[in-house]
Amino acid sequence: MFWLCDAPGEPGADATPFPSAGDDDLKHVLGPEQLVAALDSTFAIVEQRLDGWTLELLAEEVARPEWEPTWSYTRGAMLLRVFAHDVYHVAEVNEVLTRPACP
């Protein structure tokens, strides 16, 4: 939610279990039903951005000097970061699923 809601100032994070980009909350592990709901709600945000961000908007620079004076990314760079992050996690899941079962 950080790169698709918080950083660009877009709405929607409050409709997910991660309203403040808190997807690193390791104290509250999601159960199967909660995980499915979390994925559905966050993928809805991704879909909204893919449907709403035009090619012109992807080139738009978003700066957050209140966070850090040099903090600046294009919306396209934000989208690429999310994609790369998700690919990394998919690779992790694939690695776990291909490990031999413990005896």
**Closest to 45 in 3D by CA, of 95, 103, 6, 85:** 6
Mean pLDDT (the chain) is 88
Reported pTM: 0.76
pLDDT per position as a tens digit, 38-63:
889 988 999 999 999 999 999 999 99
- Residue 12 DSSP code: -
Residue closest to 45 by CA, chosen among 15, 73, 20, 74: 15
Extents of the domains making up the chain: 2-98
- The runs of H, that is alpha helices, within the chain are 32-52, 55-58, 75-98
Do 22 and 2 touch, CB atoms closer than 8 A? no
Could you give the percent of the chain with pLDDT greater than 90? 56
Arithmetic mean of pLDDT, 26-38: 84
Cα separation, 63 vs 50, whole angstroms: 20
List, for residues 83-101, the tens digit of each pLDDT value.
Answer: 999 899 899 999 999 988 8
